[in-house]
Amino acid sequence: MKHFACGDIIPGCESTFTAPDDAGILAQTRRHAVEAHGMPEPGTDSDPLVLPAIRTV
Ligand SMILES: [Zn+2]
């Protein structure tokens, strides 16, 4: 499984995400980036930040 903690790149955010693969994580973090962090739709601007911080668990 893959795991991503938003707080690793945005201090203070306590949201975490788990999915079978990177694509599953990105599907969630794109929506989170828009809804929680005000990124423009569709949130793909967050991909380069999220990808290096995804951990395999
Ligand atoms: Zn967040």
The Å distance, Cα 18 to ligand 1 centre, comes to 14
What is the model's pTM? 0.94
Pick from 46, 24, 23, 22: nearest CA to 33: 46
Domain ranges of the chain: 2-56
Give residue 33's pLDDT.
Answer: 98
Give yes or no for a contact between 31 and 43, defined as CB atoms under 8 angstroms apart.
yes
Q: What ranges in the chain are assigned the alpha helix state H?
A: 22-37, 47-50
CA of 48 to the centre of ligand 1 (A): 14
pLDDT digits (tens, 9 = 90+) for 8-51: 999 999 999 999 999 999 999 999 999 999 999 999 999 999 99
* Pair of tokens at residue 56: 């395999």
43: region left, alpha or beta (phi > 0 left; psi from -120 to 50 alpha): left
Neighbours of ion ligand 1 (CB under 5 A): 6, 10, 13, 15, 36
